[in-house]
Chain A
Amino acid sequence: MKITYPHMGSLNMILKTMFEGIGVEVIDPPPSTNKTLTLGVRNSHEFACLPFKINVGNFIEALDRGADTIIMLGGIGPCRFGYYGQVQREILKDLGYDFKMIIVDPPHGRLIDFLKELASHFPNVDGKTALKSFVFAVKKMIAADKLEKFLLKLRAHEDNPGVTTKIYEEYIKKLEKAQDGKEVDKIVSEAMKKIKENANVRRKIQLKVALVGEIYMLLEPFTNMDISKSLNELGVEVTKTEYLSDYLINSAFKLPQRMEFKKNARGYLERDIGGHGLNTVANTVKYAKLKYDGVIHILPFTCTPEIVAQGIIAKVSRDYNIPVMSLVYDENTGQAGYQTRLEAFVDLLYRKRLDVVV
Chain B
Amino acid sequence: MSKTVGIPKGLLYYDFYPMWKTFFEGVGAKVVVSQDTNKKILDEGVKNCVEDACLPVKTYVGHVINLKEKNVDYIFIPRIVSVERKKYLCSKFLGLPDFIKSLIGDLPPIIDIEINYYKNNDEFTQKEFIKVGRMFGKTEDQSLKAYFEATHQQKKFESLLKKGLTNLEALKVWEGKNLVKEESNYDLKIAVIAHPYDIMDEYISMGIIEKLKNMGAQVYTMEMLERDLILEGASMLSKEMFWNYERDILGAGLYFLKQKNVDGVIMVSAFGCGPNSMTEELLERIFKREKEVPFMLITIDEHSGEDGIMTRLEAFTDLLRFNKKAVMV
A residues bordering B, Cβ < 8 Å? 44-49, 74-80, 82-83, 86-87, 90-91, 94, 103, 268-275, 277, 301-305, 307-312, 314-315, 328
Contact = CB atoms under 8 A, between A and B. Distances in A.
B95 A312 contact: yes
A308 B99 contact: yes
Contacts of B53: 307, 311
Interface string B269-290: 0011111111011100110010
A314 B51 CA distance: 12
A305 B92 CA distance: 7
Contacts of B237: 86
Contacts of A76: 86, 242
A312 B102 CA distance: 5
Contact of A78 (B90, B98, B239, B276): B90
A79 to B, nearest CB: 6
B32 interface: no
B315 interface: no
B44 to A, nearest CB: 15
Given A76-B242, A274-B94, A303-B274, A310 B50 contact: yes
Contacts of A275: 91
Contact of A311 (B50, B54, B89, B271): B50
Interface string B38-56: 0000000000011111100
Contacts, number: 126
A47 B92 contact: no
B88 interface: yes
Contacts of A46: 277
Interface of B: 49-54, 79, 81, 86, 88-92, 94-96, 98-99, 101-103, 114, 237-239, 241-243, 271-278, 280-282, 285-286, 289
Contact of A269 (B50, B95, B241, B276): B95
Given A90-B285, A268-B102, A302 B242 contact: no
29 contacts: A47-B272, A47-B274, A48-B277, A49-B277, A77-B243, A78-B89, A78-B91, A78-B242, A82-B242, A83-B242, A86-B237, A87-B281, A90-B282, A91-B285, A94-B289, A271-B79, A271-B94, A274-B94, A301-B52, A302-B272, A302-B274, A304-B92, A305-B95, A308-B92, A308-B94, A308-B99, A310-B50, A311-B99, A315-B102
Nearest to B61: A311
A45 B92 contact: no
The residue among B90, B239, B281, B282 with the most chain A CB atoms within 10 A of its own CB is: B281
B242 A77 contact: yes
Contacts of B286: 90
A77 B95 contact: no
Nearest to A315: B102
B103 to A, nearest CB: 5
A46 B280 CA distance: 10
A274 B79 CA distance: 14
A314 B242 CA distance: 30
A307 B92 CA distance: 8
Given A48-B281, A80-B275, A91-B281, A314 B102 contact: yes
A273 B274 CA distance: 14
B98 A80 contact: no
B275 A268 contact: no
Contact of B278 (A80, A303, A328): A80
B91 A277 contact: yes
Contacts of A271: 79, 81, 94-95, 114
B282 A86 contact: yes
Given A47-B273, A74-B239, A305-B95, 7 more contacts: A77-B88, A78-B88, A78-B89, A78-B243, A82-B242, A271-B94, A273-B91
